Amino acid sequence: MKKLYSALMTAFNEDGTVNSQGIREMVRYNIDVNHIDGLYVGGSTGEAFMLSTEEKKLIFKTAFDEANGAIDLIAQVGSLNLLEAKALAKYVTDLGYKKISAVTPFYYNFKFDEIKHYYDEIVKDVDNKLIIYSIPALTGVALTTDQFAELFENPKIIGIKYTNADFYLLERVRNRFPDKLILSGFDEMLLPALALNVDGAIGSTYNLNAKRAKAEMNAFEAGDIAKARQLQKDSNDLITALIQNDIYPSLKLVMEEMGIHAGYTKEPMSHPTPEMKAGAKEIYQKYLK
């Protein structure tokens, strides 16, 4: 059975501090209403790359405590600061996370041997399994099939969060590594990813749209491709509306419409305007109510 994970958002207070209660409410909503299979904690959707080490630790602990073993949790510990990534890997492993993930190191145009060293170092001192977070559009790092093969030589590296529009590469990777865990990271391309036999998906919009995404996965598995295409179209209508309304604050504003205190985004991301709030209300009424 393919698994669906929400990329957990981080609730912030208006002054930019972490709102732990809001995080707990989002975890509970994902468990009790979305019936999600798992949460990806500390990723792009969680605004993690703007946070201090202590803020990240608070988020990891809050999510872990609230989930209380009910669902699978993946902790994204990747950082340009390798010492921080290693410390976070140890921290979440000690907490009880059974899987970790790490974004490819970015900005400095690292050579592949440096990237491989980074991943090997993150898992070296922890008894845990790591999922590579590949998102070339934001990192500028596009790994090849042969490079994935080199990374997989480390038995602790078990798969990929594949947030990449290169579906030729996805097909090559899937067929070369049939036993590795591959989780699709583009919500708007869930259906073609399913056709290439990914093991599941991780995405930000599943916080709002898990029911429709699960129905799409079930339709695909049942061979009802027409229904799956319609559900993907409906999801993409929602995603388009969120993007046009400024997606990161809008995800939280729509959750507020659902009664969940998702809080603010972290500056320099936008704080909500009256127009964005009105747009979020319309999105909720049109696509989710």
The number of beta carbons lying within 10 Å of the beta carbon of residue 98 is 12
pLDDT at 93: 98
Asked if the structure places residue 174 within a domain, the reply is: yes
Q: What is the pLDDT of residue 65?
A: 98
* Count: domains in the chain: 1
Q: What is the pLDDT of residue 7?
A: 98
Given a cut of 90, whether residue 252 has pLDDT beyond it is yes
pLDDT tens sequence across 145-158: 999 999 999 999 99
Q: Answer whether residue 153 is part of any domain.
A: yes
Query: Any catalytic annotation for residue 56?
Result: no
Share of the chain above pLDDT 70, in %: 100
The stretch 193-198 carries a mean pLDDT of: 98
Taking the mean position of all CA atoms in its chain, how far away is CA 243? 17
Domain assignment present for 131? yes
45 is in an annotated binding site: yes
- Domain containing 146: what range? 3-222
Residue 240 lies in a domain: no
145 is known to lie in a ligand binding site = no
Q: Residue 1: pLDDT above 90?
A: no
255 is a domain residue: no
Mean of pLDDT values over 22-50: 98
287 in catalytic set: no
Say if residue 188 carries a ligand binding annotation.
Answer: yes
Per the listing, tokens 């491709």 go with 225
pLDDT at residue 142, rounded to an integer: 97
- Mean pLDDT, residues 54-68 taken together: 98
d(CA 61, CA 18): 12
pTM of the model as a whole: 0.98
Query: What pLDDT digit, counting tens, does each position of 263-274 carry?
Result: 999 999 999 999
DSSP-assigned letter for residue 44: T
* Residue 235 in marked binding region: no
pLDDT at 217 over 90: yes
Which residue is catalytic, options 133, 206, 264, 284?
Answer: 133
Q: What is the CATH number of the domain that holds 82?
A: 3.20.20.70
From the candidates 2, 56, 129, 161, which is the catalytic residue?
161
Average pLDDT over residues 191-211: 98
Residue 116 lies inside a defined structural domain of this protein:
yes
**Any domain includes 254:** no
289's CB contacts (< 8 A; 6+ apart) are none
Tell me: is residue 282 an annotated ligand-binding position.
Answer: no
Q: DSSP letters of 274-285?
A: HHHHHHHHHHII
14 occurs within a structural domain: yes
pLDDT in tens, 97-116: 999 999 999 999 999 999 99
Of the pLDDT bands very low, low, confident and very high (cuts 50, 70, 90), residue 78 is very high
pLDDT averaged over every residue in the chain: 98
Specify the 3-state DSSP secondary structure of 264.
strand
Residue 236, strand partner residues: none
